[in-house]
A and B are shown apart, each in its own frame.
Chain A
Amino acid sequence: MHKGYLCIVLHSHLPFVRHPEFEDFLEEDWLYEAITETYVPIILILERLLNDKVNFRLTMSLTPTLISMLQDGILQERYLKHINKLIELAHKEVERTRWQPEFNQLANLYLGRFYESRHTFEKYNRDLVRAFKAFQDAGKLEIITCGATHGFFPLMEVVRPSIKAQVLVAVSHYENVFGRKPKGIWLPECGFHPGYDEILKDAGIKYFFSDAHGVLHGTPRPKYGVFAPVYCKSGVACFGRDLESSKQVWSSIEGYPGDYQYREFYRDIGFDLDYDYIRPYIHPDGVRINTGIKYYRISGSEEKRPYDPYLAQQKAAEHAGNFMFNRERQVEYLYDFLKKKPIIVSPYDAELFGHWWYEGPMWLEFLMRKIAFDQDAISMITASEYLQENPRNQVITPSLSSWGWKGYNEMWLQGPNDWVYRHLHAASERMTELARSFNNTDGLLSRALNQALRELLLAQSSDWAFIMGTGTHPSYAIKRTKDHLLRFNRLYEDIKANSVDPGWLADIEYKDNIFPNIDYRVHQ
């Protein structure tokens, strides 16, 4: 009989980057890379597990911005162009490496992967969200929502109507896409502040996740630590992250992804090969970028050795075994000690799997198969299933927390990015003012108000402050923040003066076309 549960959560998110006004836009590659390296590989493992009738459970957040991009016709068309280029490059690589068998087998591997990626993309009619929906409908995957544009809630504390709008827009978007309400939410960056549970409750959300200290520093003291959910006063459940299992996957020191058998992320032929040869496959402006074809493994010394897919696969299997073994011991230990079946919550960025840690999806597949067949101490579960089984839980108020650098708000509130809040908060207040003063509208005015909320939400993406905070290449993030705020401010003034320019409005509606069914009235 099993003695505890494992809840793996993959948080999938990219900010809304879509520039129909340019033929080619560098930052759109974030999406194309993630499709090839993360989303398609995850879809393929879930397909295989389903076909093989493996019993598994997985939770994934798909953010509204990511879903919107995955379902966007222009970006779908561009992904196809992107993957076709990669296929062409991989063909050339197969030829070029003819006399270097160790690289040649890798070129062939990439070629196969790229074809597989294109095939999968086309199989789901270019809409990968359908794949995830199918897994959810099959009862194996629980898809949860997130803030509409991944705004960081704790730094919207003074403008709570914006938090409400982030949640309500996300929930109605989810309903449109999946045909039901979301049961749970991934709070952007795990950012929680006491009281946000009320907003979630009003939106019909049953649970969220927080970082370990959100629960452990909650009041009163949580009896089961992070190994059982707690209820907030509103009745919304909070599941705390287990840092031990997290560290094994995340950590560069103790974690798996740094193993020397694994593929090196930082050696890419986009940078390594002769400029004239690689030129057609890098940025049209001639800047070298990652192509996704990487031939080396991580190694301790300066001398890089070619990647060996077979050894890497062995290692991924071994690491999956290690992870499972550790969870078994953890669960057995906790079961004896708590006299109750613990739940181990292990959340990760989905893009860690495949993009950063190339073997990650393979590891995940090994892990889920092993858990199904090789042991009986742990059983995989989703948060909503756990709550159904264990409806009685302690009531506490979790503490302010995030899973960001140092565990609070500093990643998004420091020298390079603190200037944004003055403007974001002012815009939020203006939006509330608009929503309150215009109750019944139609036509141009209603369109302008809805667009104002779109612009505000897009400006709020935590990604912009995050990128500014990392300190490298912030110009795109700065530009996006300013662009959306300036569009918002102009809309605000035009609406108040009753002088909305239909031509300009149509132009920004075309550019920032996210959330077609948005209703500005939610921002109150």
Chain B
Amino acid sequence: MVMLRRIKEKLKKVMRKSVGRKKVTPDISEKKFQQKPEAKEQALGIQEMAVERTKFSQPEVARAPRAMPQDLPYGYGQDRIVLQVRDPWWLHTYWEVTHATYQSLQARLGDSFHSARRVLRVYDISNINFDGTNAHRFFDIEVGHDANNWYIDAAGPGRSWCVDYGLRLPNGEFITIVRSNVVYTPIEGPSWITDEEWMIPDDLFARLYGMGFGLGRSSPVGKAWQERVRRALFSGVLASPGITSVSSPVKKEAQRKFWLIVNTELIVYGATEPDAKVTVQGRPINLRSDGTFTLRFALPDGKQVIPVKARSSDDVEERTITPIVVKETK
């Protein structure tokens, strides 16, 4: 049990941001309503995403901006609220309420419509048939008049949720305008429900659980391989250098501020009879149809002797010119 809990803790660190709520039933007054999802950090799936990203690695073209299409409609003329799960702890909701609906509410409520607050009422409705009144608990999030979507910190893995968007009148009365679909947040650890026919002792499951997540310690793999490499090194079976980098870290992003790169290239060009055979450093080259040629070489430090030899098509005449180039870098 202790082991399972320890692995679970470790796993939680991998899977969620470092600071998190653990209480399933948080005190409503404690809620940070405006909380937004945190910035990205190292977590599960980060490498998968990094690799996937390289498939689309081209830079944006700075050409005349692509004609952006006309805009999508702001709404679709329906009263509607949709609730989605982001992860075991967070929900996302978006809604639309038509002008006509607001107008009829205004007609009904008169002055109190204007002093009413726009509110999201979040219901915990796990394992019940929700009829609007029997939620285990609910909490309200006040949203601005312009808001049309919200991230909700429900902090309740393994529970069912439903959200109303509505008005809270000055007298405390809540009027539902739209009610969402029901969603279920996944549990954040292994299920406590076991299956008689497929029973496994807790400590064994804990080990299996850790292995499934590649959390190492419970698996025998790492050490044995190191041992084998050490032996192999001495016996010379694996002679490739850098053996210690079996798990070498990937290059760290260089922290360059100012930098300079200089390279040199050499252009050799000339002309002869269009049908002549020309070699440069002994290797044949192609002439353009007018008998000219251009060659371009990366020029390293040192001395380059570049004999350019042309031979007439009837093999009678030959000319050789040999530029010599010395490059030094200081």
B263: chain A residues within 8 A (beta carbon): 274
Pairwise interchain contact B15-A407, C-beta atoms closer than 8 A: yes
A426 to B74 Cα, complex, angstroms: 12
- Check A355 for interface membership: any CB of B closer than 8 A: yes
A-facing residues in B34-71 (Cβ within 8 Å): 36-37, 40, 43-63, 65-66, 68-71
Contact B56 A467 (CB under 8 A): yes
Say which one of A113-121, A126-134, A170-178, A482-490 lies at the interface with B.
A482-490
Q: Name the segment of A53-61, A70-78, A92-100, A507-515 touching the other chain.
A: A92-100
A394 to B205, CA, bound (A): 15
What residues on A are CB-neighbors of B73 within 8 Å? 423, 489
Q: Chain A: which residue is nearest B299 at the CB level?
A: A99
- Mask for B225-250, Cβ within 8 A of A = 1, else 0? 10010000000001011110111111
B214 at interface, CB cutoff 8 A = yes
B94 near A221 with CB under 8 A, answer no
Q: Determine if A217 and B84 form an interchain contact, defined as CB atoms under 8 angstroms apart.
A: no
A255 within 8 A of B: yes
Q: A212 with B213: in contact, given A223-B195, A475-B66 (CB under 8 Å)?
A: yes
Do A221 and B58 form a contact, CB below 8 Å, given A244-B214, A410-B86?
Answer: no
Contact check: which of B44, B181, B200, B216 meets A405 at CB < 8 Å? B44
- Chain A residues near B149: list those with CB within 8 A: 418-419, 422
Beyond A253-B250, A255-B47, A408-B87, whether A27 also contacts B191 by CB under 8 A is no
Q: Mark B254-298, 1 if CB is under 8 A from A, else 0.
A: 101000000101000000000000000101000000000001111
B82 within 8 A of A: yes
The contact of A479 among B68, B216, B224, B299, by CB within 8 Å, is B68
Q: Given A404-B48, A406-B87, A489-B73, does the pair A98, B281 have CB atoms closer than 8 Å?
A: yes
- Interchain CA distance A204-B238 in the complex, whole Å: 49
How does the 8 Å CB contact mask read for A218-231 relative to B, with 1 for contact and 0 for none?
11111111110000
Is A29 in the interface zone, CB < 8 Å from B?
Answer: yes
Q: How far is the CB of B293 from chain A (nearest CB, A)?
A: 11
Q: Are B195 and A394 in contact (CB under 8 A)?
A: yes
> A487 to B221, alpha carbons, bound, how many Å?
54
Chain B residues with Cβ below 8 Å from A314 are: 240
Q: Is B79 an interface residue (CB 8 A)?
A: no
Distance, CA A98 to CA B87, complexed state (A) = 56
> Across the two chains, which residue of chain A brings its CB closest to B62?
A287
Interface of chain A residues 451 through 492 with chain B (CB within 8 A): 463, 466-467, 470, 473, 475-476, 478-479, 482-483, 485-486, 489
Chain B positions 146-199 with a Cβ under 8 Å from a chain A Cβ: 148-149, 181, 183-195, 197-199
**Residue of A158, A213, A264 ringed by the most chain B CB atoms within 10 A:** A213
Query: Which residue on A lies nearest to B43, using beta carbons?
Result: A406
Is A384 located at the chain interface by the 8 A CB criterion? no
B208 at interface by CB-CB < 8 Å: yes
Is there contact, CB below 8 Å, between A96 and B189? no
Taking the closest CB of chain A, its distance from the CB of B284, in whole angstroms, is 11
Separation in Å of the A416 CB from the closest CB of chain B?
11
Asked whether A164 is an interface residue with its Cβ less than 8 Å from the other chain, the reply is no
B205 nearest CB across to chain A (Å): 6
- Flag whether B110 is at the interface (Cβ < 8 A): no
Q: Tell me the complex Cα distance, A387–B153, Å.
A: 41
- Is B300's CB within 8 Å of the partner chain A? yes
Chain A residues near B195 (CB-CB < 8 A): 220-221, 223, 394-396
Which partner residue on chain B sits nearest A31 by CB separation? B55
Bound-state Cα–Cα, A302 to B256, Å? 9
Collect the chain B residues with CB atoms within 8 Å of residue A264's CB: 251
Q: Which residues of B contact A240 (CB under 8 A)?
A: 212
Q: Does A290 contact B (CB under 8 A)?
A: yes
Per-residue CB proximity of A264-282 to B under 8 Å, as 1/0?
1100000000100100000
Cβ–Cβ < 8 Å partners of B63 in chain A? 285, 287
* Chain B binding surface SS class: loop
Collect the chain A residues with CB atoms within 8 Å of residue B58's CB: 26-27, 29-30, 289-290, 473
Nearest CB of chain B from residue A189's CB, rounded to whole Å: 9
Tell yes or no: A411 within 8 A of B by CB.
yes
| B144 CB-CB contact with A under 8 Å | no
Q: Is A322 an interface residue (CB 8 A)?
A: yes
- Asked if B250 and A252 sit within 8 Å, CB to CB, the answer is yes
Closest-CB distance, A467 to chain B (whole angstroms):
6
CB distance from A152 to the nearest CB of B (A): 11
Chain B CB within 8 A of A135 CB = no
With A216-B213, A227-B208, A475-B66 given, is the CB distance from A405 to B198 under 8 Å? Answer: no
On whether A325 and B228 interact (CB within 8 A), knowing A100-B300, A421-B84, A422-B96, the answer reads: yes
Bound-state Cα–Cα, A300 to B244, Å:
14
B323 within 8 A of A: no
**What 1/0 mask marks residues of chain A from 2 to 28 whose CB sits below 8 Å from any chain B CB?**
000000000000100000000000110
Q: Are B59 and A289 touching (Cβ within 8 A)?
A: yes
- Does B92 interact with chain A (Cβ within 8 Å)? yes
Q: Which A residues are CB-close (under 8 A) to B191?
A: 217-221
Report which B residues bind A (CB closer than 8 A): 15-16, 36-37, 40, 43-63, 65-66, 68-73, 76, 78, 82, 84-88, 90, 92, 94, 96, 148-149, 181, 183-195, 197-200, 204-205, 207-209, 211-214, 216, 219-221, 224-225, 228, 238, 240-243, 245-252, 254, 256, 263, 265, 281, 283, 295-300, 304
Interface on A for B, CB 8 Å cutoff?
14, 26-27, 29-30, 34, 92, 95-100, 103, 154-155, 157-158, 194, 211-213, 215-227, 240, 242-247, 250-255, 257-261, 264-265, 274, 277, 283, 285, 287-290, 298-300, 302, 311, 314-315, 318-319, 322, 325-326, 329-330, 333-334, 337-338, 349, 351-352, 355-356, 394-396, 399-411, 413-415, 418-419, 421-423, 425-426, 463, 466-467, 470, 473, 475-476, 478-479, 482-483, 485-486, 489
* Interface CB pairs A-B, < 8 A, 23: A26-B58, A158-B82, A216-B209, A217-B187, A220-B194, A221-B191, A223-B198, A225-B211, A244-B211, A245-B214, A250-B47, A252-B47, A253-B250, A255-B247, A258-B249, A288-B59, A318-B238, A330-B211, A405-B43, A413-B92, A418-B94, A422-B96, A482-B68
Closest 3 CB pairs of A and B: A258-B250, A244-B214, A243-B214
Question: Knowing that A30-B55, A300-B252, A483-B69 are A-B contacts, what are 11 other residue pairs whose CB atoms are under 8 Å apart, sorted by A's residue number?
Answer: A92-B296, A95-B295, A213-B213, A244-B221, A253-B250, A333-B220, A349-B52, A349-B55, A410-B86, A410-B90, A413-B92
